[in-house]
Structure 1
Amino acid sequence: MKTVQIKGSSVAYLDEGQGEALFLMHGFCGSSAYWSKVIPKLTEQYRVIAIDLPGHGDSEVQDNVNQIDLYADFIYQFLDSLKIEKVTMLGHSLGGYITLAFADKYSERLNGFSLIHSTGFPDSEEAKKGRDSSAQKIDDEGIEAFIDGLIPKLFAPNNVKSQQNSVEEAIKIGYRTSLIGAKYALEAMRDRTDRRAVINNTELPVVLVAGEEDQLIPSEKTFTADGVNIKQVLLKNVGHMSMYEAPEELVKVFVQR
């Protein structure tokens, strides 16, 4: 892992391979390690940068980065620190929300973008209450109890047993999320705005990836736009974690043979 200082806080990231830059952002309570099964193949064709978002993995919390637009600003500063002008941005779940905010504010820094098990929809009122309940659970029971309940729901039901090692790996990664980092992310996801128009209106290449058995974000919430610049990919027998559940299929979406 490499590190860089952003506003006095340490940010951890991977930077491997050569060529056009792919920038990978993990989901809530994940880290750059979420991409470990796909990075080796992606680096055959691309320079791959995978970040630990603030308060996740080995990255320290960024003070008051608790809104999606602020995460996007942070990513802008991070790319500047690496002197990277343009990237193709791949965002998983929470990372997808940040990707849309970045595309909305800083489209000139993108060659294209992808939502992986993510959506342009905002949270429903019920979902907002769920975010607050999750924050309360973290306060009451700690991050480990929260992660134990969260991670199995991210996998397709049949994969929870058949891919138990991956489930356990994701749980261990989740344990490393700081309480403040998790609560900032929950607040940001709760308060995010409707950004479906970003997908509809962009002229950039867009890839929308959904899991057929995703229990958190069904495909119809991901496939909200269609056009000559938009590619929709539905992965079968996959939940919310294709980078674990079907890494080879996910790589094929982005690697040109």
Structure 2
Amino acid sequence: MDNFKLNYVAEGEGETILFIHGLSDNLLYWEVLANILKKDYRVIRVDLRGHGETPLGSDEITINVYSRDLKNLLDELGIDKVNLIGFSLGGAVALDFAIKYCETVSSLVVMSSFSKCDEYLKKTFTEFKTSLSGGFEEFYDYMIPKVLCPEVIENNLKELEMLKQISSKTANVEAYIKATDACLNFNVDCELSRIDVPALILSGRYDEICPTRYQENLENKIKNSKLIVLDNVKHNLLVGKNNSVISKFLNDFIKNKNVK
């Protein structure tokens, strides 16, 4: 087992929120949302293995390894209760964590994610691996139309190109391929009923990567859960005004622990 520490940022005071990013992202993904919520909560953002400033290490990469890393971090920080928020790959990690370490979880928010890799997702993740084999920039160009609506891309061409150039300098393609393999081997669908904390599930109406049916499945199998489908977005929900909209959902949800 590797002996290393996750890179993380902790801000604010109050109940703890732990943010878990998606494939090829890092803790900066949550910056706008964290800046809103840190006024009322202790907000922790992490870089998963091989992402951002966290090393890949030598362990075989699985969703369970990501979960174990997070549990080790919380133990190190002396945190015994946490509100989990995970996006895409991070949502799968959050589900796995909530099943394996249920006593540590106060509430769960899953965004644009899935509980098992079926034939549709196998095809999707295999396409991810193919584009990654061409390097990060090819992967980036492939992914952008998958995660953002056309008008968002059109209105932010310069910023998106700049982000590609910046990200390509530090991207760990090997880690992203291993993360994709972890997704291909992920399946906790039969264990979802073990999650007994309030769960908020967020989906983009036009998500091509994890269509809304995957979030509907989560709502059906997690007994104390609620699904909210956001209009005018694909896979990436944190677009424009949605940061403030989602922060309100999260604030109300975490404060009240109520999915009704």
- Class of the TM-score when normalised by the shorter of the 2 chains: 0.7 to 0.9
Q: 1:9–1:61: 8 Å Cα contact kept in structure 2?
A: no
Q: Deviations over 1:75-133 (max 9, x none)?
A: 1112112221111100000001111111111111100111111122x222353244345
Pair 1:160-2:153 in alignment = yes
Which residue of the other structure, out of 187, 193, 203, is the alignment partner of 1:193?
Answer: 187
Q: Which structure 1 residue ranges, 5 or more long, are not aligned?
A: 1-5
Would the alpha carbon gap of residues 18 and 170 (structure 1) be closer, same or farther in structure 2, given more than 3 Å must change?
farther
Pair 1:104-2:126 in alignment = no
Which residue of the other structure, out of 30, 33, 39, is the alignment partner of 2:25?
Answer: 30
Residue pairs, 1:53-72, within 5 angstroms: 53-72=48-67
Select between 6-15 and 36-45 the one with higher mean Cα deviation: 6-15
Would the alpha carbon gap of residues 161 and 123 (structure 1) be closer, same or farther in structure 2, given more than 3 Å must change?
same
Matched residue type, 1:248: S
Counterpart in the other structure of 1:207 = 200
Pair 1:252-2:245 in alignment = no
1:184 & 1:171 partners in 2: Cα distance?
Answer: 21
Which residue of the other structure, out of 209, 217, 223, is the alignment partner of 1:216?
Answer: 209
3-state SS of the aligned residue for 2:6? strand
Matched residue type, 1:40: N
Q: 2:99–2:194: 8 Å Cα contact kept in structure 1?
A: no
3-state SS of the aligned residue for 1:53? coil
Cα shift at 1:203 = 2.1
Cα shift at 1:196 = 5.7
Q: Which structure 2 residue ranges, 5 or more long, are not aligned?
A: 256-260
3-state SS of the aligned residue for 1:101? helix
Select between 130-139 and 75-84 the one with higher mean Cα deviation: 130-139
Which residue of the other structure, out of 118, 125, 128, is the alignment partner of 2:119?
Answer: 125
2:248 & 2:160 partners in 1: Cα distance?
Answer: 23
Q: 2:5–2:73: 8 Å Cα contact kept in structure 1?
A: no
Cα shift at 1:254 = 0.9
Cα shift at 1:30 = 0.4
2:166 & 2:26 partners in 1: Cα distance?
Answer: 7
Pair 1:183-2:177 in alignment = yes
Counterpart in the other structure of 1:148 = 141
Would the alpha carbon gap of residues 50 and 86 (structure 1) be closer, same or farther in structure 2, given more than 3 Å must change?
same
Matched residue type, 1:250: I
Would the alpha carbon gap of residues 152 and 170 (structure 1) be closer, same or farther in structure 2, given more than 3 Å must change?
farther
2:4 & 2:42 partners in 1: Cα distance?
Answer: 25
Residue pairs, 1:32-51, within 5 angstroms: 32-51=27-46
Counterpart in the other structure of 1:88 = 83
Cα shift at 1:136 = 4.2
Counterpart in the other structure of 1:73 = 68
Q: 2:94–2:110: 8 Å Cα contact kept in structure 1?
A: yes
Work out the number of aligned pairs and report it: 249
Cα shift at 1:166 = 5.9
Cα-Cα RMSD: 2.3
Counterpart in the other structure of 1:21 = 16
